A = this chain, B = another copy of it.
Amino acid sequence: MILLNGKKTSDLIKEEISQEVLDIIKNGDRPPHLAAILVGDNPASLTYVSAKVKACDKVGFQSSLIKLHHDVSEEDLISHVDNLNKNVDIDGFIVQLPLPNHINEKKILEKISPHKDVDGFHPINFGKMCLDIPCFIPATPFGIVELLRRYNLDLDGKNCVVLGRSHIVGTPISILLSKNKKIGNCTVTLAHSKTKNIKHICNNADIIISAIGKPNFITEDMVKDGVVIVDVGINRVKSNKTKSGWKLVGDVDFENVSNKCSYITPVPGGVGPMTIVSLLKNTLLAKKNVFS
């Protein structure tokens, strides 16, 4: 079994990005600049945004964090988005999800300039991704593709099962891996809450991408020998082995399943760091105006 080490791979990519930043500065330009809007004080969102800001520091990007009260009106949030759209010193920005219930998430995402949409959630970027037009790819699927590429996996004609049909992970990765590309050309099955015979479906899979958020969902009896598993789940479970009393695990019963795998991502240290570094990559692409 080989670990698909997202931490190590993302560190390598960060070094590559740092080098590009140095080159940009050497050419007399300013470094890439990522902004994030955070609404409210959801602790998970705070953790994610902090990790993104920290990653910016690491590679020499500028970053700005705009914290808004959870009561902020949709109108005010939109005016913040408009300001970032217009600000020529900001290359890309994200609005950290989820947003409070009184705000229409889809409406906000459509207000982000597609040229600064480094999360790739604007419909025009999503559509371009589907239609093979160069664009920002959402960070998690982008990170998964990059991880598989760096480990030089041969996916051609392989049966891939994606568990979970979210707009952020399941749906886009299912689309990407079915494309006629080197990291692609899989026969992809998209499974979800209404799927029957999920055990049978997983047992036939050469590759499983799990993004459902249920600890220990994938068990030993569900996978075949030699399977490749990408575990996107980040679940907080109780633990008597940590000081805090809890730990992070994925969707896979790692202890018992990993022996059967040819490759598997750990949690933490797998998809998580690849997601963050992909956001940095998108910000670098935005700075370089690659899709304009």
Contact with B along A174-215 (1 / 0, CB 8 A): 110011100001011111111111000100000000000000
- Whole-angstrom distance from the CB of A126 to the nearest CB of chain B? 4
Question: Is B192's CB under 8 angstroms from A189's CB?
Answer: no
Q: Does A33 contact B (CB under 8 A)?
A: no
Chain B positions within 8 Å of A185 at CB level: 192, 194
Nearest residue in B to A121 (C-beta to C-beta)? B131
Question: Is B178's CB under 8 angstroms from A165's CB?
Answer: yes
Copies of this chain held together in the complex: 2
Question: Is B165's CB under 8 angstroms from A192's CB?
Answer: no
Of B124, B129, B159, B175, the contact of A124 (CB 8 Å cutoff): B124
Question: Is A131's CB under 8 angstroms from B106's CB?
Answer: yes
Q: Does A130 contact B (CB under 8 A)?
A: yes
A121 to B241, CA, bound (A): 54
Q: Does A100 contact B (CB under 8 A)?
A: no
Q: Does A167 contact B (CB under 8 A)?
A: yes
Chain B positions within 8 Å of A128 at CB level: 123, 127
Question: Is A133's CB under 8 angstroms from B123's CB?
Answer: yes
A218 to B110, CA, bound (A): 42
Question: Is B187's CB under 8 angstroms from A187's CB?
Answer: no
Q: Does A98 contact B (CB under 8 A)?
A: no
- Whole-angstrom distance from the CB of A224 to the nearest CB of chain B? 14
Of B110, B122, B174, B178, the contact of A192 (CB 8 Å cutoff): B178
Interface residues of A (CB under 8 A from B): 106, 110, 122-133, 156-157, 159, 165, 167, 171, 174-175, 178-180, 185, 187-197, 201
* Further contacts, 16 of them, CB under 8 A, given A165-B178, A185-B192, A187-B194: A123-B123, A123-B128, A123-B133, A124-B124, A124-B127, A126-B131, A130-B130, A130-B175, A131-B167, A132-B167, A156-B194, A157-B196, A178-B190, A180-B192, A187-B191, A187-B201
